[in-house]
Amino acid sequence: MNRDIEKVLFTKQQIEERLAELGAQLAEEYHGKKPLCICILKGAVPFLSALIQQIEIPLEIDFMSVTSYGSSAKSSGVVRIMKDLDISIEGRHVLIVEDIIDTGLTLRHLVDLLEQRNPASVKTVALLDKSICRTADIEANYVGFEVPNEFIVGFGLDYDEQYRNLPYIGVLKKEVYHIG
Ligand code: PRP
Ligand code: MN
Ligand code: MG
């Protein structure tokens, strides 16, 4: 295990098992609808990559980049679009794929933005839900796991761009982000 990790919350195997369940549910919901799965860079990359392999129906993917955290551990409350979608979502069934919902500001902003573009539907799937930190009025349609109010990294989630490559989800040691 990485020496900066306090404890593992979800192992690689636990994540894989949950994604198989989510994938089956999503395949049922989107059967015959050729959904467009929108990966929110960068945190959702490992989740999108693993999840779509479990959704055994025709689908498409695209990428958007919005940022609200930067290198700080706390949300700035500012949501900026850094990269927009490559394709039109008009008439499409859109599934926004996020790694975590914390305050909900990012997802609330994204849903509102995409709904203005005349899609057939907009739904959301989040690997992790830190619901205790919610300030925006939003819940994901599909959630992998509920997580406690701790600093969580791995499987796409970063602290200062590090730890995204961990194959598990864990709690970061306080001494790593409490410097001085
Ligand atoms: C993180 C995370 C979500 C968002 C959740 O992204 O990946 O996108 O914050 O926080 P919120 O619910 O409080 O809005 P971040 O902005 O750190 O960018 P990243 O995905 O590139 O790490
Ligand atoms: Mn993100
Ligand atoms: Mg981040």
pLDDT reported for residue 109 = 92
Q: Is residue 176 part of a domain?
A: no
How many beta carbons lie within 10 A of that of residue 159, not counting itself?
18
Whether residue 102 has its Cβ less than 6 Å from ligand 1: yes
Whether residue 158 has its Cβ less than 6 Å from ligand 1: yes
Q: Is residue 139 part of a domain?
A: yes
Strand order across the 5-10 sheet: 5-10, 169-172, 152-153
Q: Is residue 163 part of a domain?
A: no
Ligand 2 center to 107 CA (angstroms): 9
What is the residue range of 67's domain?
13-148
User: What ligand has the least distance to the C-alpha of 102?
Assistant: 1
Q: Is residue 172 part of a domain?
A: no
Number of domains in the chain: 1
Task: Measure the CA–CA gap between 180 and 168, rounded to whole angstroms.
Answer: 28
With vertex at residue 30, the alpha carbon angle to CA 28 and CA 36, rounded to the nearest 5 degrees, is 145
ipTM: 0.98
For the domain that residue 97 is a member of, what is the CATH number?
A: 3.40.50.2020
Local confidence pLDDT in tens for the 180 residues of the chain: 999 999 999 999 999 999 999 999 999 999 999 999 999 999 999 999 999 999 999 999 999 999 775 555 555 556 789 999 999 999 999 999 999 999 999 999 999 999 999 999 999 999 999 999 999 999 999 999 999 999 999 999 999 999 999 999 999 999 999 875
Q: Is residue 169 part of a domain?
A: no
Q: Is residue 8 part of a domain?
A: no
User: What ligand has the least distance to the C-alpha of 77?
Assistant: 1
